[in-house]
Structure 1
Amino acid sequence: MGSTCVRIAIDAMGGDRAPGEIVTGALRAREELGVEVLLVGDPQQIEAVLPPKTNTAQIEIVPSEGAIEMEEEPLSAIRRKPKSSINVAMDLVKQKRADAVISAGHSGAAMASALLRLGRLKGIDRPAIGAVFPTMVASKQVLILDVGANVDCRPKFLEQFAIMGSVYSQYVLGINEPKVGLLNIGEEDCKGNDAAVRANQMLRENPNIDFIGNAEGRDVLSGDFDVIVCDGFVGNVLLKFAEAVGEVMLQIIREELPQGIRGQIGTAILKPNLRRIKQRMDHAEHGGALLLGVDGICIISHGSSQAPSIFNAVRMAKEAVDNQVLDRIQSQYQSLQRESS
C-alpha cells in the first residue's frame, strides 16, 4: 500500500465483550501506536460505546450486517452471512483498504473467512495459528503452532509450520537464529507415532530450519526452544491449559498476599514485580494468535478479550506488517522450493 500509516480492520462485533471493549482497545491503539483503525460493525452500536466528546470525523466505521455466533458452523455461516462483520473486515484486507484484520469472534469463522477471501500463500498447504507463550527465561518467549487450525497434520504441514514460525520468530520476535522443536512424547528421534517420526526426519534434514530435536511437554516453557510445532488438536489443548495455569497462578498470588495494613504495605512494595508477573503470565498481554499461511495479516484474539488485549493485538498486527512477515514467508518458501527442485 502506498501510505506509510498502517491500517487495521477490526471486527467490532466479535467477542464476548463486543463492541465496547473492542472499540476502547482500538481507540487506544490509534492514539498510542499511530495506526488507523477501521471499526467494522453496526454503526449505531459502535457509536453508542464511543467515549464522550469523541471526534467521530476521525474514526472510520465500516457498516456490516450481523456477526457469526459461536454455536454456528463456521463455513456455512460465513457463506450464509456474506456481510457479517468478519467477512467485511476480511474484504477490506483483500481490497487493500486495510493491512491487517483482527477479530475476537468465532475463531473458526475467522479462519474460514480468511481462507475463502484471502487465500493461502503460494506453496503453503495449510495455515497455522501461532500463539506466543512466556518461558522460564525472562523476556524470552516461545511461538507454538499450530494451536487450533488443523486437528490432523501431515509431516509436510509441520515442516511448513516450522518455516513460517521461524520467519515470524526472527523478524517480529527478534530471535536471530530461532531454535525449532517438535512437540512429542520423548526426546529421542524414534519416539511418537509414525507422523511424528517422519516429521522429525524432515525437520532434521531441512538445512533452512535450526531444528534441535523433540520437545516434551516439560520443555515447552523452558526457554530452550524459540518455535515448537505440533498439530492443532494438541496445540489447542496446550494453549487452553497454559491459559488456565496462568490464571490460577495469578489468583494464588493474590490470595497469598498478606491481608490488612501489612498486606497493603507489602503489595505497594511488590507492585512493580507483580505487574511484571502479570505481563509474563496473562494471555491478554499477548493480544492474540497470528494466522500464518494466509495471504494477509490476520490476528485471532481470545473471545473474552478486553481493551488491553485488543490494544496488544493491534500492536502485534502492526509489527507483522512493519516487518513484512508475509513477503518474508513467501520468499523463504519459494527459495526452499527452488533448492529442492
Structure 2
Amino acid sequence: MASDIRIALDAMGGDHGPTVVVPAAAVALERRPDVQFLFYGEEKAIGRVLERHAKLAAKSRVFNTDVAVKMSDKPSQALRTGRRVSSMWQTIEAVKSGEADCAVSAGNTGALMAMAKFCLHTMAPIERPAIAAIWPTLRGESIVLDVGATIGADAQHLVDLAVMGAAMARIVFDIDSPTVGLLNVGVEEIKGVEEVRAAGRVLREAKLPNMRYHGFVEGDDLGKGAVDVFVTEGFTGNIALKTAEGTARQLSQYIRDAMGSSLMSRIGALFARPALEALRAKMGPRASGGVFLGLDGVVIKAHGGADAESYAGAVELGYDMVRQELLGKIREMISHANGFRPAPAHSRRRPILT
C-alpha cells in the first residue's frame, strides 16, 4: 500500500483561520484516508477546534507559531516579519525539509508566492513560477495559467507555462496529451506581440510528447473550453480571472433580482433552487484552489474566503498533485522541451491587434 501523503496547512491563513482550516482537513480526511496533516499556527486556537474531530486529531500534528501573515501585508513586508517564524513560512518550509509533501494556505497570495519562491526556489530551468487555476467551461473544465504570479513574459516563459500546464492537465483531467493554446488577440499567426508569436512557433515545431499544441485562442474561447490548457502571462491572466469572477457575481445578482421581481417569480425560484445552486457552483473559476507551478515543491493556494468544503477541495487538489507526481511529470516534459529554445526577440514591433 502507498504511504500516506503528508500535507502541511497554514492554519492562520485566510479570512477564517482554524475555524475553517481544521474542519476542512476533517472533510478531506474522510475522502482521502491515506493523508496526514501538519498544522502550523496558534496552538491553542487550533486545539480548540481539533478536539472536536477525534479521527483527524489522531492523524495530525500541531506546531505553534506566534506570527501570522496578514492579508494586507505586502510580499516584502511579509518576508521581513514572517520569514522562518510565521505559520505561512513554516508550512512551506515543511515541504523543503521533507516533513511534508505539500503545503496549503488560504493566506495572502503575494506573500505566499514570495515565500514559496524564496524557500523552495524554482526547478531548473524554470525561471519564474506561475499560478494555475481550474476554469469552468461549456465542455467541463480547463486550466488557465498564469493568473497573477508574474507580470510579463518572453517566449521562453510562455513555452515553460505550456509545459507546466500540460503536466498539470494530465493529472487533473486524466488525459495523456492535453490540448494547449496560447491566448492572443486573434487566431491568425500574424497577430499579437512578438513574444506570443515566437512561443507559438516553438510549440508548433517542437511537437512535444504528452501535449497537443492547438495554436492561438481568443478570450471568448475560455468559456467554450476550446483547449484543455490556456496559456498567458500573469497580467492578462489575472484580469481574465477577475473579469470571470465579477461576471459570475453579476449574473447571480441578475438571477436573484429576476426571481424576486414578483410573487410568481419567487414561487418559481423555490422550485428552481436546486438548478440555480448547480448553476452558481459552475460559475467562476473553481474556488477550491490554485496550483503554484514551477517551484521545487507542491504549494496550493486556497481562496481567502473559502468555506470548509472549498478548502477541503484545495487540500484534495494538493493530494492529487503529490500522488500523481506533478513535479516528475513537469521535469519529464521539460527534458523534452529543452532542445527547443525560442530565439531572442531583436525587435519590438508594434503588435497587430485586429
Give TM-score, length-normalised by structure 2: 0.87
Q: Contact 2:5/2:319 (CA < 8 Å) preserved in 1?
A: yes
Match for residue 85 of structure 1?
87
Match for residue 67 of structure 1?
68
Counterparts of 1:25-64 in structure 2, within 5 Å, are 25-34=24-33, 35-50=35-50, 52=52, 54=54, 56-64=57-65
Match for residue 219 of structure 2?
217
Structure 1, residues 29-50: CA drift from partner, whole Å, max 9, x if none? Answer: 1233222222210111222344
What RMSD in Å do the two structures reach over aligned CA positions? 2.4
Match for residue 197 of structure 1?
197
Which deviates the most, 155-164 or 94-103? Answer: 94-103
Change (3 A) 1:33 1:261: farther
Residues 1:314 and 2:315 are matched in the alignment: yes
> How far off is 1:245 after superposition?
1.4
> How far off is 1:51 after superposition?
6.3
Counterparts of 1:325-340 in structure 2, within 5 Å, are 325-337=326-338
Q: Contact 2:299/2:318 (CA < 8 Å) preserved in 1?
A: yes
Find the residue that maps to 2:223 and give its secondary structure. Answer: coil
Which deviates the most, 261-270 or 2-11? Answer: 261-270
Residues 1:230 and 2:232 are matched in the alignment: yes
Mapped to 2, the partners of 1:339 and 1:204 lie a distance apart of 11
Change (3 A) 1:41 1:251: same
Mapped to 1, the partners of 2:253 and 2:48 lie a distance apart of 34
Structure 1, residues 241-277: CA drift from partner, whole Å, max 9, x if none? Answer: 1112122223333333368986676456444433432
For structure 2, the 5+ residue unaligned runs are 342-354
> How far off is 1:77 after superposition?
2.3
Find the residue that maps to 2:224 and give its secondary structure. Answer: coil
Counterparts of 1:167-316 in structure 2, within 5 Å, are 167-208=167-208, 209-257=211-259, 266-267=268-269, 269-283=271-285, 285-316=286-317
Give TM-score, length-normalised by structure 1: 0.90
Find the residue that maps to 2:25 and give its secondary structure. Answer: helix
Match for residue 20 of structure 2?
21
Which deviates the most, 298-307 or 148-157? Answer: 298-307
One-letter identity of the residue aligned with 1:72: D
Q: Contact 1:170/1:177 (CA < 8 Å) preserved in 2?
A: yes
For structure 1, the 5+ residue unaligned runs are none
Change (3 A) 1:175 1:61: same
Change (3 A) 1:266 1:103: same
One-letter identity of the residue aligned with 1:214: F
> How far off is 1:57 after superposition?
5.0
Which deviates the most, 291-300 or 36-45? Answer: 36-45
Change (3 A) 1:267 1:324: same
Percent identity, aligned pairs only, is 34
Which deviates the most, 142-151 or 207-216? Answer: 207-216
